[in-house]
Amino acid sequence: MSAALPVLQRLPPETAHHLALRGLRVMRGHLKAPERDGPEVELFGLRFANPVGLAAGFDKNADCIDGLGALGFSHIEFGTVTPRPQPGNPRPRLFRLRKARALINRMGFNNHGADYLAERLRQATWRGIRGVSIGKNADTPIERAAEDYIACLRKLYTLADYFAINVSSPNTAGLRTLQAADALTGILQALREEGLRLREQHRRRVPLLVKLSPDLESNELQEACEVIVRQGVDGIIATNTSTRVPGFEAEYSSRGGGGLSGAPLETRSLEVLQLLRKTLGADFPIIGVGGLMSADAVVARLAAGANLVQLYTGFVYRGPALLAESLQRLDPTPRR
């Protein structure tokens, strides 16, 4: 895949993305994981082979589980999935900011729906940790969002190792209002009750995590933390993309808006992680994501208190080399 990067990076970004996924699917039997692996991480009852995963949105429909899994990620977060299939926003909706090593996207949860994702998860053989990010359909009124999250939970409960409740995408109208204390309480309470019921039914406990926006103010983050702890959520993923990275106002407006990811997000995502760690104490599980473009950045995020990290834009720009370098830095143990 690394050899194909210079070509892919000359194509329109969404075309390049689809080609990369197709290439990984075709090549899946021939891909080699990095030579170094570990250290293992035990978190919310799951054992991760190493601390580095692939963030949500890269393989929304789990079309490429075995190809991506073969690269050596300890976990992959599929989705964000919605109960029903939907096309997402009109194109163009994904933009490269090459100099800044960033992307702006307003994909809008384009995905084939929960039934399709379930089938893909059933068919794949990769044995790493499978996260599933769940969201709401664009045409579901925000007051009824909980019904969509619950529908996804039900359809995918036996197939996911953990769920990420996505209330932080900037590209679905009103979604981020679900992070406010009252709305978040409503969603989490409903999901918790359904989770308990499903746990009884299937004799299996699937952890629930919440993914937060980097654009929340400190007091909003603290309020969200209170709710998250009170509702017994298993962990936080921080952060999603940002609609207001300082200095990028012109880039946002010339592309018609969206969420920024990649290098310019690193500082804010790290800040949010530090605030969360301080608020929640040493033991609360946090996955750090946002602007990890180098092995140094991965090491720094873990040192700042992330239990695990996830890559997205760094993987788009640097390919599997970023994962290999990170694993090399984290643990010199040859893969068993």
Ligand X SMILES: Cc1cc2nc3c(=O)[nH]c(=O)nc-3n(C[C@H](O)[C@H](O)[C@H](O)COP(=O)(O)O)c2cc1C
* Cβ contacts of 252 within 8 Å, gap of 6 or more: 104, 243, 244, 258, 260
Shorter beta-carbon distance to ligand X: residue 227 or 263: 263
Question: Could you say which of 67, 291, 319, 320 contacts ligand X (CB under 6 A)?
Answer: 291
Per-residue b or e along 193-223, where b marks 16 or more CB atoms closer than 10 Å to that residue's CB: ebbeebeeeeeeebbbbbbbbbbbeeeebbb
User: The tokens of 133 are what?
Assistant: 């990010």
CB of 199 to ligand X, least distance (A): 24
Name the segment binding ligand X (CB under 6 A); options: 19-27, 124-132, 201-209, 309-317: 309-317
Decide if residue 306 touches ligand X (CB under 6 A): no
Binding to ligand X (CB under 6 A) within 141-160 occurs at none
Shorter beta-carbon distance to ligand X: residue 157 or 163: 163
Which residues partner with 237 through β-bridges?
A: 211, 287
Decide if residue 105 touches ligand X (CB under 6 A): yes
Question: Could you say which of 312, 320, 326, 330 contacts ligand X (CB under 6 A)?
Answer: 312
Decide if residue 94 touches ligand X (CB under 6 A): yes
Other CB atoms closer than 10 Å to residue 149's CB: what's the count? 26
Backbone phi, psi, residue 252, to 5°: -60, -50
Binding marks (x or -) toward ligand X, 116..145, rule CB under 6 A? -----------------x------------
Other CB atoms closer than 10 Å to residue 254's CB: what's the count? 10
Residue 82 to residue 110: CA distance in whole angstroms: 9
Question: Could you say which of 261, 294, 307, 326 contacts ligand X (CB under 6 A)?
Answer: 261
Positions of E strands within 58-105: 75-81, 94-97, 102-105
User: The tokens of 203 are what?
Assistant: 């004799």
Burial of residue 6, with CB atoms counted within 10 A of its CB: 0-12 exposed, 13-18 middle, 19 or more buried? exposed
CB of 143 to ligand X, least distance (A): 22
Active-site pick, 74, 133, 169, 213: 169
324: three-class secondary structure by DSSP: helix
User: The tokens of 215 are what?
Assistant: 């654009």
Shorter beta-carbon distance to ligand X: residue 166 or 294: 166
Question: Could you say which of 41, 151, 227, 289 contacts ligand X (CB under 6 A)?
Answer: 289
Decide if residue 206 touches ligand X (CB under 6 A): no
Binding marks (x or -) toward ligand X, 52..91, rule CB under 6 A? ---xxx--x------------------xx-----------
Residue 128 to residue 114: CA distance in whole angstroms: 20
133 belongs to the catalytic site: no
Decide if residue 290 touches ligand X (CB under 6 A): yes
Residue 58 to residue 78: CA distance in whole angstroms: 7
Binding to ligand X (CB under 6 A) within 313-332 occurs at 313-314
Name the segment binding ligand X (CB under 6 A); options: 24-32, 82-90, 195-203, 288-296: 288-296
Q: Which residues bind ligand X (CB under 6 A)?
A: 55-57, 60, 79-80, 94, 103, 105, 107, 109, 133, 166, 169, 211, 240-241, 261-262, 265, 289-292, 311-314
Task: Please give the positions annotated as active site.
Answer: 169
